[in-house]
Structure 1
Amino acid sequence: MVHSHVEKLISDAVSISFITDIWSSSVSQVSMLSLTAQWLDEDFALKKAVLHSQECCGSHTPVTISAAFEGMFEAWKIPKAKVHAVVRDNARNMAKATMEFGVKSLPCMAHTLQLAVNGGALSQRSIADALAVGRKVVGHFKHSSQAYSRLEDIQKELNMPVKKLQKDVTTRWNSSYYMMQSLVEQKRALSAYAADYELPATLIATQWGILEKMITLLDPFEQLTRDISSSVATAADVIPGVVSLTRLLTKSDEEQDKGVRTAKRTLLEAVSDRFSCVQGEPLYAIANIVDARYKDRYFDADKKEGARNMLLKVVEEMASGSDDQQGEAVSASADDPHKKARTGSPKLQDMYQEILEENELSERAATGETASQVHAYLGEATIFKECPFNYWRSNQARFPAISRVTAPCTSVDSERLFSAVAHVIDEKRNRIHCDNAEMLVFIQKNLPLTHKDK
């Protein structure tokens, strides 16, 4: 029943985006390849379905992965013409596999941010040394319940909230951010503990200063990572996020930058390098421009005209009945990143608003000179609080050629999927067959679809 229902939804979709990733079990010699579909139905409701989490045997070469894709898409009778984009990680084998399979792909933005932060800041000697010491401190309490009990007693004596320290993992840069946060929050308690008990290492004054400065510097990255990791974030959020983050990093603050100027500069260089081509990538550009929150306001002056031309080309092709480009126009997330930024990181939100205000006036001035659908749409003010899906639900009749399908911007859905797989293939069930594990996860993830659509 679940399979047939998902099959019906997939067959009705005009254009579909996909998320894929490879996971290796820590309790058995098993690797699995995932495939999650995402699309908009006729009412502009975002739909998602897990299609596969199948065993990926042998070496994970592009040829092997491409062949696996071939089998997956054939099993669901999905023609390549219906594939809008596949979101994957930055690994070369995944990028080459999608290319060999013959579909367009986008790198996971969260993974790209991971590479930028690790290469631009966390790998610097002074920061890496401070993190290494912090890791030893956290490890001391993680491996000793008695030590944690003593720390909790000290927290209570100091009228501090009783909290556990967080340890980072290498694959998640923001886990290092959370570790730094937890250490700085417990600085008084840790100092009191060190006065009475032995620690394997202690942070010196300059290292505490580095951690405090790095928390402030990395706060916008953490905010952006959370925004794009939302289950409803799409490719439309990439360009505004990168442009706002870049602008924030270019602003100087003598007091705030003291001690982390090099880290800030290298972060800016890493972000600029990793995301240098996003404004010229059609999948990102059109996603951004048809999102009524952003339109063409976040493009550099020399890229804005090119983005408009991309949209015009797609609109003309769709109007003439071309089926080849139906997946080019991308709608945006149902979430409001401005709202998130207001609660989590006012500085990052300031950049979003500042860029909008700078570009809004020029767009309004040009409205009277154009009568075309695209120029009329771009000439109107951007929405701020309104959900973009609701916007297109209300305005589809006015701009029928502009609104179409969504593409995700990260492979976070695959990460969440494999978290579910890890609960199925665990230490107590490490010999379960992959086909059975896939079936259980398929039902768990897709069963809610049968209830929502009734």
Structure 2
Amino acid sequence: MIALDNQPFSVVEDEGFRRLINYLEPRYALPSRRYFSDVALPELYSVVYVHIEKILADATSVSFTTDIWTSSVSPVSMLSLTAHWIDQDFVLKKAILHSQECPGSHTAAAIATAFEGMTEKWKIPKANVHVVLRDNARNMSKATEEFGVPSLPCMAHTLHLAVHEGVLSQRSVADVVALGKKIVGHFKHSQLASSRLQSIQKELGIPIKSLKQDVATRWNSTFYMMESLVEQKRALAAYAAEFELPASLTANQWGILENMITLLAPFEQLTREISSAEASAADVIPAVVALTRLLGKSSDADRGVRTAKEILLKAVSDRFSGVQCEPLYLVATMLDARYKDRYFDDDKKMRARDLLLKVVDEMMGSEDQRDVSKEGPPEKKTRTGSLLDMYEEILQENVLLGEQINTETSSQVPAYLAEATIPRRDSPLEYWKSNQARFPAVARVARRYISAPCTTVESERLFSAVSNVMDEKRNRIAGEKAEMLIFVQRNLPLLNKN
């Protein structure tokens, strides 16, 4: 209970808790807080550790996400390591291996040494490490390089940088955002102002909602702030007529807000998709191709945002320029039955196929590589619309090419690619669970490559839990105890699932 509910060990000494236990069982002598911290926690940690070690031993390939978090209530930094793998039944598994204290300077060498110790503790050879997902910081990139394993940057971080560089850093937009922050801050820091706004919302028949504040490290929080301001535009105007606001927006600035919401809506949708628990490295290339195509299309809705749209397209193109040259992304995309080779141009399509054949042959110890015929793409159909429309448009352009591949070949790769893609809402893991008997060699590679996520969101979610453990009530808790609590909290449910 202490671990799962983020309770301090001192809860067993609280009067209310002791009365509850006494009411439930008067004969029970409640142990001290020292017993729970020094005996019960290590014992439970050992039980969970053995279970995770057992299920992890069956993983032939593991992907990791990692991040560093610094506490705001104590001088402690922690380094996380989350394992992701796909079992024999093509079920995605995740386990928190570490959220250990990371003292001293966070140099690449120190982080690499920590990685070395973590993997050795769990007896995971480097050959079994598929890839490490990390943030865009130079020390993390260099640390994984020194550790000697492949790594990829977090797509959500890269998208954040592209949006800031392409739109939010522009003077006119930055000024509007700054004014929006002042307005939101006024209501966040004044209960009276918040109550007055709610009264006005009731009078106008507007749903009673609070304005949303943005967070500097998350671009989509700025998007949600813009949305909340525009949604409450009438209420804010009525409030400003009666009471004083620290800032106000002109008609032109309101127009900028509305235009930015329209322009950034596909980015918000994409951020939600890649932050889901099921998102993988296979989603990166199709997402970038669909997003750049959408930004490259002209429509009537571009009025007032055409220049910003062009700058944003350039920022996205620059930030993601190397994704179609990264073998880990190429192979993962090919092995996702929703995408296959349909999101590559002719040159990259053949390179991706050759690379997949090579990886399959290397993993299976085979030298059977077959040439695959290449047909010209069908006539393109122009379509404007949403991000989802771009995915569908790209698939339609490539459907004929996929159908004309010779399926009589003995190679599993061309036969797999010849079949139609599955609907995007379907699960690629379910596909491979049903088709691994037909394409056993390709399925084995898929189990390795699709295990990799495309963001470090799992690590960020972990540190949200850590911040609840190392809070004001437990600001003196030792890093070792904090790691045990987090390990038990996040992995204990796995004992009930297996």
Asked if residue 363 in structure 1 is aligned to residue 408 in structure 2, the reply is no
Is 2:294–2:385's contact at 8 Å kept on the other side of the alignment? Answer: no
Cα 1:289–1:10 change in 2 (3 A) is: same
Separation in structure 2 between the aligned mates of residue 135 and residue 213 of structure 1, nearest angstrom: 18
Separation in structure 2 between the aligned mates of residue 68 and residue 206 of structure 1, nearest angstrom: 52
Separation in structure 2 between the aligned mates of residue 452 and residue 107 of structure 1, nearest angstrom: 31
**Aligned residue for 1:211?**
257
Deviation (angstroms), 1:211: 0.4
**Aligned residue for 1:85?**
131
**Aligned residue for 2:312?**
267
CA distances 1:421-447 after superposition (whole Å, capped 9, x unpaired): 000001121111111010000001001
- Aligned partner of residue 209 in structure 2, secondary structure: coil
Match of 2:164 among 118, 133, 140: 118
Separation in structure 2 between the aligned mates of residue 245 and residue 60 of structure 1, nearest angstrom: 35
Q: Which runs of 5+ in 1 are unaligned?
A: 323-344
- Aligned partner of residue 36 in structure 1, secondary structure: strand
Asked if residue 443 in structure 1 is aligned to residue 488 in structure 2, the reply is yes
**Aligned residue for 2:426?**
386
Separation in structure 1 between the aligned mates of residue 385 and residue 129 of structure 2, nearest angstrom: 37
Q: Which runs of 4+ in 1 moved over 3 A?
A: 367-371
Separation in structure 1 between the aligned mates of residue 256 and residue 482 of structure 2, nearest angstrom: 45
Cα 1:346–1:26 change in 2 (3 A) is: farther
Asked if residue 196 in structure 1 is aligned to residue 247 in structure 2, the reply is no
- Aligned partner of residue 171 in structure 1, secondary structure: coil
Alignment of 1:52-451 (within 5 A): 52-253=98-299, 255-320=300-365, 347-368=386-407, 370-384=409-423, 385-403=425-443, 404-405=447-448, 406-451=451-496
Tell me which moved more, 367-376 or 291-300: 367-376
Tell me which amino acid in the other structure corresponds to 1:79. Answer: P
Is 1:239–1:279's contact at 8 Å kept on the other side of the alignment? Answer: yes
Separation in structure 2 between the aligned mates of residue 72 and residue 369 of structure 1, nearest angstrom: 47
CA distances 1:27-54 after superposition (whole Å, capped 9, x unpaired): 1111100000000011001000000000
Deviation (angstroms), 1:318: 1.7
Cα 1:39–1:450 change in 2 (3 A) is: same
Separation in structure 2 between the aligned mates of residue 436 and residue 50 of structure 1, nearest angstrom: 15
- Aligned partner of residue 367 in structure 1, secondary structure: coil
- Aligned partner of residue 440 in structure 2, secondary structure: coil
CA distances 1:200-248 after superposition (whole Å, capped 9, x unpaired): 1101001100000100100000000000000121101111111000000
Is 1:19–1:413's contact at 8 Å kept on the other side of the alignment? Answer: yes
Separation in structure 2 between the aligned mates of residue 400 and residue 164 of structure 1, nearest angstrom: 53
Aligned-pair RMSD on alpha carbons? 1.3
Is 1:31–1:57's contact at 8 Å kept on the other side of the alignment? Answer: yes
Tell me which amino acid in the other structure corresponds to 1:298. Answer: Y
Is 2:408–2:415's contact at 8 Å kept on the other side of the alignment? Answer: no
Separation in structure 2 between the aligned mates of residue 25 and residue 452 of structure 1, nearest angstrom: 32
Q: TM-score, normalised by structure 2?
A: 0.85
Kindly name which structure, 1 or 2, has the bigger radius of gyration based on alpha carbons. 2
Quote the sequence identity (%).
68
Deviation (angstroms), 1:198: 0.5
CA distances 1:285-331 after superposition (whole Å, capped 9, x unpaired): 11000000000101122211111011000111122179xxxxxxxxx
Q: TM-score, normalised by structure 1?
A: 0.93
Is 1:367–1:380's contact at 8 Å kept on the other side of the alignment? Answer: no
Tell me which moved more, 122-131 or 346-355: 346-355
Separation in structure 1 between the aligned mates of residue 122 and residue 408 of structure 2, nearest angstrom: 47
Q: Which runs of 5+ in 2 are unaligned?
A: 1-46, 368-383
**Aligned residue for 1:340?**
none
- Aligned partner of residue 32 in structure 1, secondary structure: strand
Separation in structure 1 between the aligned mates of residue 177 and residue 109 of structure 2, nearest angstrom: 39
Aligned residues: 430
Is 2:285–2:324's contact at 8 Å kept on the other side of the alignment? Answer: yes
Is 2:141–2:151's contact at 8 Å kept on the other side of the alignment? Answer: yes
Deviation (angstroms), 1:19: 0.3
Separation in structure 1 between the aligned mates of residue 301 and residue 435 of structure 2, nearest angstrom: 45
Deviation (angstroms), 1:346: 6.8
CA distances 1:48-101 after superposition (whole Å, capped 9, x unpaired): 000000011111100010011011111111100000000000000000000000
Tell me which amino acid in the other structure corresponds to 1:398. Answer: R
- Aligned partner of residue 299 in structure 1, secondary structure: coil
